[in-house]
Amino acid sequence: MIDVPQAAEIIATYRKYGWILRRILLTNPETGALLAKSTDLGETTIVPAPIDAAWFSRPPKEGPVPWEIRYLGKTPFALLESLSEKEADFEYLLSATEARLRESIAAKEAS
């Protein structure tokens, strides 16, 4: 289970710099309720997943939208993608990035 106060702090830091919380991936659905007590999740989508992470986006200066997935575990780690939500393969690209995050975290924790 993730450290809920630490996750709330991560979300607050991203918001401070103009990022918008778009989705939260959680291994334990009960964590979503705990997190909602610690921070305003608004209309953020909570998704059951094999990893605890948060998707953020922010308005681009020009071009595709920057989307960043931030691991919410003990090891700070994030991946950044520039995506257009209008692309047909948008959801596939998010899923592929989530898979890369899982692989990277598993490799870091194994070493």
Kindly report, residue by residue over 64-101, the tens digit of the pLDDT. Answer: 899 999 999 888 899 999 988 888 999 999 999 999 99
- Best mean pLDDT range from 2-6, 21-25, 72-76: 21-25
Exposure pattern of 25-48 as b/e (b: 16+ CB <10 Å)?
bbeeeebbebbbeebebeebebee
For range 6-22, the mean pLDDT: 94
Tell me the pTM: 0.91
Q: What does the angle CA 111 – CA 70 – CA 25 come to, to the nearest 5 degrees?
A: 100
Q: Average pLDDT of 100-111?
A: 90
Residue type, 80: L
Mean pLDDT confidence for 31-51 = 88
Residue from 48, 34, 42, 44 nearest 5 by CA: 34
57/59 Cα distance (integer angstroms): 7
